[in-house]
Copies of this chain bind each other. A is one copy, B any other.
Amino acid sequence: MEILIMQNIMSSNQKLADENRLTFSKEKILVINIMASPGAGKTSVITKLLEYFNHNEIGIIEGDIASNIDAEKFEKMGIPVIQINTGGGCHLDANMIKTAFHSLAKTRFSMLFIENVGNLVCPSTFDLGENVKMVIASIPEGHDKPYKYPAMFQSADVILLNKIDLLPYMDFQKDLFIKGVGALNENVEIIEISSKTGQGFDFLVDWIKDRFSKAIILTK
């Protein structure tokens, strides 16, 4: 079988991402960039996490092609949120985050969730200046995702395996998923969760708090 290799050139936004990183560090904010396929559960994970943190510690940047369905949900909960509509663009970039953060920073918060555009491809190559790249995979997507979308899993600081409650109903081979991730990203933490049942969230919250402590110590 013939395999064609065709490359696209993507422009770098590294300089702006580094500026963002410096800003976040000065402001002592932990920034988590959440990336996943459409429907893997980015919004549900953030919503569930809000049960574990003081709402006045949290800010949210919502990235979508169109609509502000998710941002409206968070606004109703009283969380400072800003919606970025990319108008067709398949990922957030550091410049978008810089602009959105400038608007959002009128309020105080110490943890910023960035919900990226639902896409397992493009967001992986755009550094936003975040502290944590959080990738969500979900059981119904299948265990072969690390093999087919390697860049995303390679770049992750933590991988959430969501909708774990659906495991009994699906042909998902967890060992193959873990093996696929391990080949790309040896030491990454894989946390099994369910936003529906709450499974795994105690562990996830501890993981985030630990990262928060480390980030703050680093910026002292």
Interface residues of A (CB under 8 A from B): 1-8, 10, 37-39, 64-69, 71-72, 75, 81-90, 96, 99-100, 103, 117-122, 125, 138, 140-142, 144-145, 147-151, 163, 166, 169
| Contact assessment for B1 and A75 in the assembled complex, using a CB-CB cutoff below 8 Å | yes
| Contact assessment for B89 and A145 in the assembled complex, using a CB-CB cutoff below 8 Å | no
Q: How many copies does the complex hold?
A: 2
CB neighbours of A148 from chain B (8 A): 38, 64-67, 69, 118
A39, A64, A90, A144: residue with the most chain B Cβ atoms closer than 10 Å: A39
Please pick, from B7, B68, B85, the residue contacting A6 in the complex, using a CB distance under 8 A. B85
Given contacts A6-B86, A7-B89, A117-B121, whether A150 and B66 have CB atoms under 8 Å apart is: yes
Chain B minimum-CB-distance residue to A141: B39
CB neighbours of A7 from chain B (8 A): 86-89
